[in-house]
Amino acid sequence: MTEATMNESVQEVLNKLRPFLLRDGGDCELIDVEDGIVKLRLLGACGTCPSSTITLKAGIERALLEEVPGVVEVEQVF
């Protein structure tokens, strides 16, 4: 999978998850995908929520690992 295709696939998954984040006053922004590592910035309420690490790892990372071949990890960018 090319990097451009992986970016598109990651964005599609994020778009599916976005309504759940928005409902809680948050959002996320795709910064980059490099060597299978997805770099995300959590925005709004998600950026300051004490549960944001759980949201990132248990929610977003799990969905990306399941749906986008080549994704190996999700990192939060501040």
* CATH fourth-level superfamily of 3-76: Fe-S cluster assembly (FSCA) (3.30.300.130)
- Closest by CA position to 32, among listed 23, 41, 20: 41
* Per-residue model confidence as pLDDT tens digits over 2-54: 888 999 999 999 999 999 999 989 999 999 999 999 999 999 998 888 888 88
Work out the burial of residue 10: count CB atoms within 10 Å of its CB; fewer than 13 is exposed, 13-18 middle, 19 or more buried. Answer: buried
pLDDT at 60 over 90: yes
The pLDDT confidence band at residue 77, using thresholds 50, 70 and 90, is: very high
The model scores a pTM over 0.75: yes
What is the per-residue pLDDT for 41? 95
Backbone φ/ψ region at 40: left (φ over 0), alpha (ψ -120 to 50), beta: beta
Higher-scoring residue by pLDDT: 46, 70 = 70
